[in-house]
Amino acid sequence: MKFSVFYTFAFVLLWTLVVVALPTEIDGSLDATQFDNLDYVPEVSPPQVNNTPGFTSITTDPQEADTLESLALGINCRGSLACSGLCPPANFAAIRRYVDQIPDDVQYQNGHQIACVRCNNVSYSAICAFVQHAKEGEMVSAATVKEKIHRLVQHQCMKCGSCPIHPGNNGATGEVTVNYVWHGCGTGICPY
């Protein structure tokens, strides 16, 4: 009985790794020009789901409004389940190195990828930094992004997390986020 439970667990774990790591664009049709659109919102996957009473998960569906409770986390190291091990080479040190190279006056809108580290060489999945939940049309400078990434490092986030961009520590008014995305811009600074 012990072996069957172990093998079942191993199979489920292996299956999960294979499904998440499969390339989403087999024909290679994804290119950097698709990221020139500043209205692009990266797909964060898999969505956070926590059915424990007292917890509210953050939706990744742009059509579904996040609750104020779910966005008021302040600075945190939360992210997709994929942050906990499906992208081993990606970490804040790499993201921070890329972000630190961006000129301070570059501006970003909601969802525009800033810098990414690909999870592997077979798919476009990556850990990326981007702005989310900012007011429509609000621009966030690279100088602010750098400051928030540094705060996440000080907060001891290792791969994923979010840091509010405005005073009050409330992500509902905008935040710089580092999280797993299905379609990253590659490894390095994303086109701006």
- Reported as a single tens digit per residue, the pLDDT across 103-122 is 999 999 999 999 999 988 77
Altogether, the residues listed in the chain come to a count of 192
**pLDDT tens digits, 47-59:** 333 333 333 334 4
Tokens of 152: 């996440």
- Whole-angstrom CA distances from 6 to 11, 37, 85, 136 are 9, 47, 20, 49
Between 62 and 162, where is the model more confident? Answer: 162
- Average pLDDT of span 58-74: 47
pLDDT at position 59 is 40
pLDDT at position 119 is 86
**pLDDT tens digits, 135-147:** 999 999 999 999 9
Q: Helix, strand or coil for residue 51? A: coil
Taking the CB of residue 84, how many other CB atoms lie within 10 A of it?
A: 12
Residue ranges of domains in the chain: 2-189
- Average pLDDT of span 78-92: 79
Distance of CA 125 to the CA centre of its chain: 10
CATH dotted code for 2-189? 3.30.430.10
- pLDDT of 42 > 50? The answer is no
| Cβ(117)–Cβ(91) below 8 Å | yes
| Cβ(40)–Cβ(34) below 8 Å | yes
pLDDT at position 122 is 74
Most confidently modeled of 39-53, 78-92, 164-178?
Answer: 164-178
pLDDT at position 6 is 57
- Whole-angstrom CA distances from 158 to 14, 92, 151, 170, 188 are 23, 6, 12, 21, 18
Most confidently modeled of 28-37, 76-85, 95-104, 121-130?
Answer: 95-104
